[in-house]
Structure 1
Amino acid sequence: MRIILFLLCLMVPLSSLAQDAPADTAPITVASGPTDAQVEARITDILARLSDTREVTVAVEGSVVTLAGEAANTEAAERAVGIAERVDGVVAVQDDIVRTLDVTDNVTPLVDRSAELTTQFVRALPLIAAALFALVAIFLLGRFLASRTGVIRRMAGNPFLAELIATAIRIAFVMIGIIVALNILGATALVGTVLGGAGIIGIALGFGVRDTVENYIASLLLSIRQPFRAQDHVVIDGQEGIVVRLNTRATILMTLDGNHLRIPNAKVFKADILNYTTNPERRFKFRIGVDSADDPVAAIAVGAEIMADLDFILDDPGPMGTIVEIGDSSILIDFFAWIDQRETGFGTARSQAIRDVKAVLEERGFSLPEPLYRVRVDGPAALGSSSSDEASDHTTETRPRDGKAARALHAVLNTDADLTIVERVAEERQGTQQNDTGTGPDLLSDTAPKE
């Protein structure tokens, strides 16, 4: 009984809520669309105004449009269908148009269009002439400014940078001329397309020729920094030689053997460069061992004294020596001395110093240790006539002529700077300046500031 009363109490408020709620089945009123006759009249009027769809007929029933009649080609028929589909009140379009493919109907519009384009071109001739005149005038102005090489070089202070600036001026004025000409012709939309296309092409080319661009930029930076001059004796990334030239692609060296060495500028820019010519004073060293029983300090004093007496050794800084290592049977000493590379050959001076120091040390009683070997002979030693024959053969030698012997002795004792490679480089540079070899301009300048 209590459950029935509880259910009755719940039904009373629910019934009141149901009476207050809006009815979901109430009709929705909308504005009525165009009638079939209005749709047919509208489509017929549009198609009649177009030359290629005038023969198309229109019938509308239940908002479904049926197109019939004739059209010259598929393009005209599809155009009529597209127009009908965009008219308000159309649910579907039935295409019953016959494509006649008539020659006259298809050729006549083309002829009319060509004649119209010809008429428009003739009318636009004065405007085209004005655009061409502006383009040529701006191009000639840029070429004139770029040809002022003297002013540009004074401003840039570098021949390669001056050439780069001149090229940039010419390209900039060509682009300005094209933009101005397109604006005169009214093709402003084409300007953005040209610039966007140029940017995309530039990015693609940049990725494609990345190594070439890197070389070109390295050439520019090297020509500005000038880490070396022509005819400088340098070591670049372990490669030693005399600088011949620096062009837009590579640095050309002549090795000490007389061979040409080409190093890409991108590699030169990143490499460690050792320049022997920048500082004409250069130090050489050599190592001599004396017996462990000898006094190493006295040996150093003797060696320094002997080198100080040599004419090609500089007095400031003077020669010296240091003890490097004490071995089982010898004491190793490093001797140091300075020379002027402009007057003295590095290798020949070092060779002469070694000979003199060794000879004087031996004269003054210093022992130069030699390696000791223990030889074990199994069986009787064969001491026959063959050894004596060999000895006699070795004692027989052909002596050179007096003139050759004198020249050889002079070459051994001569310590003057060897300028053979330097002279060859100078001759080659002079020949390159006189003849166009196609290697590009030399970017090295004696007047530019050196790094």
Structure 2
Amino acid sequence: MKALQLALLVCCLPDNSMAMPAQGESDSQTAAIQVINAPQDEAIAARFRAISAAIAGMETVEVSVQAGVLTLKGEVNTAQLKTAAADIANRLQGVVHVQNQLQEPVALRSRLAPAVDKFGEMLTNAVQMLPLLLLALLSIVLFWLAGSWLSQRGALLRRLGLSELATNLGMRFVRLIITSIGILIALEQLDATALVSAVLGVAGVIGIALGFAFRNIVENYLAGVLLSTRNPFAIGDFIQVDSMSGSVVRLTSRDTVLMTLDGNHLRIPNSQIITSPMTNFSRNPLRRFEFSVGVSVDLDLVVVRQLAIATLQQMTGILADPRPRVLVQELGDSTVTVRVLAWVDQRDTDFLKARSEAIRLVKAAFDKAGIEMPEPIYRIHMAEMPVAADHAAATPAATALTAIDVPASATSIAAVDVSADTTIEQQVQDDLQHSEEENLLPGGKAAAKTTKS
């Protein structure tokens, strides 16, 4: 009998295995709905009303709870408030399900209400901080005025030997630094030092972007500063950069303006002048011109040299020191090329006119003396041709050569000067002695002082 009662009692007990969660279930599984001691619906609604009353923008939300199902009705200003209300309702104990029936206002005025409230709050804060804003603005103005005043005092930089362009750049940099200090002090007064890091970061990014965008402009500007500091040329100097040449008109912060020989303005970027070989033909007033002449192989080259030199010495504008020279340049099949060189002083003689006149006079002198300037000649030697014929063919050239009236000493070997030409070296030393421009080459100043003493 007792065994039968025990069996009936076991059968009547509830199966707790169905109510207990399995050990392998995930922690994120939805919590079970309470049946015993479930929170009352009115308590849930009262709790939500208390929370929504404390949040701005949710005061008018209507809430109703029935059997643990919470329903939200009404209007909220933004979608964020709608989502926040649903999130709060889901977190309340005893809520089984949330029906979010909140709506956002469609009227423009309702949508602008949060922005208007935010603007009013900012305006109130601005009025409270007005004294600090005025003090910060006064700091910026004072430092800007101080920077402007100092930027007009470039006499010190000029005493250091800086050019006008470099001085202006330095003064602008000083004004920028002083104004930046005033801005930093103003931000410190407004307790906005955190903004400084953001501003510097943005300025750095903008600076990198502008550096890549305006790289050529920056390069040309810095090159202009270097050119104005180094002074490699002056107004009116005739220079050549790569294949471009002309007289210097002006130097700007971006390019150098040249006047070409045909009267056109040529603009060369300053960065190209800095990085390219440049020849200044006007820095040294003495300049040498040259041209080549081809004469017959049958002539006495010593006589030809003496005639060309004597012609140039009689020409106006040709300097006697350094004296004209004639050098044998090349021996061809039918001609001998001689190179004629002479010096002029560019301060009172035009280079191109002097060279043109020298060519004309030498050509006239050679023609008058019977010196032949032949074209290429091809000779054909015949085996059957007698030797006397060759001798007879050479006689006219010898007769023409004897017609040249030159001193007898000109044909002697002792009259030929093959000594080293130190004309350029002497002019370099003279420039080192008289020029005040700094020479960064080793021994440049010392060599000049030694030669002068």
Shorter-chain TM range is 0.5 to 0.7
List aligned pairs for 1:292-441, cutoff 5 A. Answer: 292-369=297-374
Instruction: Tell me the amino acid that sits aligned with residue 272 of structure 2.
Output: K
Q: Does 1:284 align with 2:283?
A: no
What is the identity percentage for the equivalent residue pairs of Structure 1 and Structure 2?
A: 37
Q: Does 1:57 align with 2:102?
A: no
Q: Which of 104, 119, 138 is the equivalent residue of 2:124? A: 119
User: Residues 280 and 340 of structure 1 are in contact (CA less than 8 Å); yes or no, is this contact kept in structure 2?
Assistant: yes
User: Residues 334 and 376 of structure 2 are in contact (CA less than 8 Å); yes or no, is this contact kept in structure 1?
Assistant: no
Aligned counterparts of 1:44 and 1:348: Cα–Cα separation in 2:
106
User: Residues 236 and 272 of structure 1 are in contact (CA less than 8 Å); yes or no, is this contact kept in structure 2?
Assistant: yes
TM-aligned CA distance change 1:88 to 1:293, over 3 Å: farther
The CA RMSD measured in Å over matched residues stands at 3.9
Aligned length: 350
Aligned counterparts of 1:369 and 1:46: Cα–Cα separation in 2:
117
TM-aligned CA distance change 1:70 to 1:364, over 3 Å: closer
Instruction: Tell me the amino acid that sits aligned with residue 96 of structure 1.
Output: N
Offset of residue 357 of structure 1: 2.9
Offset of residue 70 of structure 1: 2.8
Q: Does 1:271 align with 2:273?
A: no
List aligned pairs for 1:78-227, cutoff 5 A. Answer: 78-84=83-89, 87=91, 94-99=98-103, 101=105, 115-155=120-160, 157-227=162-232
Instruction: Tell me the amino acid that sits aligned with residue 281 of structure 2.
Output: Y
Instruction: Tell me the amino acid that sits aligned with residue 63 of structure 2.
Output: T
User: Residues 284 and 338 of structure 1 are in contact (CA less than 8 Å); yes or no, is this contact kept in structure 2?
Assistant: yes
Residue 66 of structure 1 corresponds to which residue in structure 2? 70
TM-aligned CA distance change 1:93 to 1:161, over 3 Å: farther
Instruction: Tell me the amino acid that sits aligned with residue 238 of structure 1.
Output: S
User: Residues 293 and 339 of structure 2 are in contact (CA less than 8 Å); yes or no, is this contact kept in structure 1?
Assistant: yes
Offset of residue 126 of structure 1: 1.0
Instruction: Tell me the amino acid that sits aligned with residue 70 of structure 1.
Output: G
SS of structure 2 residue aligned to 1:163: helix
Aligned counterparts of 1:27 and 1:253: Cα–Cα separation in 2:
89
TM-aligned CA distance change 1:450 to 1:149, over 3 Å: farther
SS of structure 2 residue aligned to 1:53: coil
Offset of residue 166 of structure 1: 1.7
Aligned counterparts of 2:232 and 2:202: Cα–Cα separation in 1:
39
TM-aligned CA distance change 1:42 to 1:217, over 3 Å: farther
TM-aligned CA distance change 1:357 to 1:110, over 3 Å: closer
Offset of residue 257 of structure 1: 2.4
SS of structure 2 residue aligned to 1:206: helix
User: Residues 333 and 376 of structure 2 are in contact (CA less than 8 Å); yes or no, is this contact kept in structure 1?
Assistant: no
TM-aligned CA distance change 1:61 to 1:217, over 3 Å: farther
Aligned counterparts of 2:110 and 2:350: Cα–Cα separation in 1:
95
Offset of residue 283 of structure 1: 1.3
User: Residues 86 and 100 of structure 2 are in contact (CA less than 8 Å); yes or no, is this contact kept in structure 1?
Assistant: no
Residue 262 of structure 1 corresponds to which residue in structure 2? 267
Structure with bigger RCO (C-alpha 8 Å, 6+ apart): 1
Residue 242 of structure 1 corresponds to which residue in structure 2? 247
Offset of residue 90 of structure 1: 9.4
SS of structure 1 residue aligned to 2:236: coil
SS of structure 1 residue aligned to 2:98: strand
User: Residues 56 and 71 of structure 1 are in contact (CA less than 8 Å); yes or no, is this contact kept in structure 2?
Assistant: no
Aligned counterparts of 1:307 and 1:245: Cα–Cα separation in 2:
37
SS of structure 2 residue aligned to 1:199: helix
Name the TM-score, length of structure 1 as normaliser. Answer: 0.66
TM-aligned CA distance change 1:156 to 1:309, over 3 Å: closer
TM-aligned CA distance change 1:235 to 1:450, over 3 Å: farther
Offset of residue 159 of structure 1: 0.9
Offset of residue 292 of structure 1: 1.7
Aligned counterparts of 1:320 and 1:102: Cα–Cα separation in 2:
101
User: Residues 235 and 249 of structure 2 are in contact (CA less than 8 Å); yes or no, is this contact kept in structure 1?
Assistant: yes
Offset of residue 160 of structure 1: 0.7
Offset of residue 341 of structure 1: 1.5
TM-aligned CA distance change 1:113 to 1:256, over 3 Å: closer
TM-aligned CA distance change 1:97 to 1:224, over 3 Å: same
Aligned counterparts of 1:98 and 1:260: Cα–Cα separation in 2:
76
User: Residues 317 and 344 of structure 2 are in contact (CA less than 8 Å); yes or no, is this contact kept in structure 1?
Assistant: yes
Residue 419 of structure 2 corresponds to which residue in structure 1? none
SS of structure 2 residue aligned to 1:157: coil
Offset of residue 228 of structure 1: 0.9
Aligned counterparts of 2:70 and 2:254: Cα–Cα separation in 1:
73
Aligned counterparts of 1:447 and 1:158: Cα–Cα separation in 2:
16
Offset of residue 118 of structure 1: 3.8
TM-aligned CA distance change 1:359 to 1:105, over 3 Å: closer
SS of structure 2 residue aligned to 1:214: helix
SS of structure 2 residue aligned to 1:306: helix
User: Residues 289 and 333 of structure 1 are in contact (CA less than 8 Å); yes or no, is this contact kept in structure 2?
Assistant: yes
Q: Which of 228, 233, 237 is the equivalent residue of 1:232? A: 237
User: Residues 246 and 252 of structure 1 are in contact (CA less than 8 Å); yes or no, is this contact kept in structure 2?
Assistant: yes
